[in-house]
């Protein structure tokens, strides 16, 4: 089976099913990396100007008006931890894989400001079969955020991941997959 190549265009349901259920590999068109890097430069330039950017240098939700200063990476980790309130049974692996692919496809269209390194790490984890343990229930208001927080935490080595049929600390799974 040939790899699914993300270009930033729509993907088909059949492609999602093949990646989610059959382990089809995912590749990224070079134009996507160029697009992500250009968008990231814009984000970095705007952030350096001091302009408020939701969730990057401002708080979220009711804390929207709060400016964040200091270590931006520490703030971003705090956001992941603060949004990791999902509960319930872990989602099945095929659902997690479909979720990872859907997020990667969305990112590949550009405009999110995600770094190309984080994007590639997401694709690499998907292709290596490293999946976050993603609880099935988020809050009503933050449903997508809490589920994506488990993905973000896994990519930073926090939380738990499933790899080769075993549940383990995410950092260990990522290291084993290299």
C-alpha angle 97-107-13 in degrees, rounded to nearest 5: 45
Tell me, yes or no, if 54 is annotated catalytic.
Answer: yes
Neighbours of 91 (CB within 10 A): 21
Catalytic residue among 9, 45, 54, 143: 54
**Angstrom distance (rounded) from CA 127 to CA 149:** 20
**Angstrom distance (rounded) from CA 127 to CA 130:** 8
Closest Cα partner for 161 from 96, 67, 112?
96
Cβ(131)–Cβ(48) below 8 Å:
no
For the chain, the distance separating the N- and C-terminal CA atoms, rounded to the nearest angstrom, is: 23
Q: State the catalytic residues.
A: 54
């Amino acid at each position: 089976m040939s790899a699914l190549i993300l270009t930033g265009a729509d993907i088909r349901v059949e492609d999602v099913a093949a990646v989610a259920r059959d382990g089809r590999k995912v590749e990224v068109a070079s134009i996507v990396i160029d697009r992500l890097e250009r968008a990231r430069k814009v984000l970095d330039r705007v952030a350096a100007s001091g302009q408020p950017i939701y969730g990057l240098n401002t708080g979220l939700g009711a804390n929207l008006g709060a400016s964040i200063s200091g270590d931006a990476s520490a703030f971003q980790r705090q956001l992941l931890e603060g949004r990791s309130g999902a509960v319930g049974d872990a989602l099945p692996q095929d659902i997690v894989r479909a979720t990872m692919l859907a997020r990667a496809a969305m990112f590949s269209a550009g405009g999110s400001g995600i770094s190309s390194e984080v994007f590639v790490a997401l694709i690499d984890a998907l292709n290596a079969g490293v999946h976050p343990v993603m609880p099935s229930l988020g809050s009503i208001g933050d449903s997508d955020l809490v589920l994506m927080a488990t993905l973000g935490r896994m990519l930073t080595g926090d939380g738990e991941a499933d790899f080769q049929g075993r549940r383990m600390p995410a950092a260990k799974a990522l290291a084993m997959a290299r």
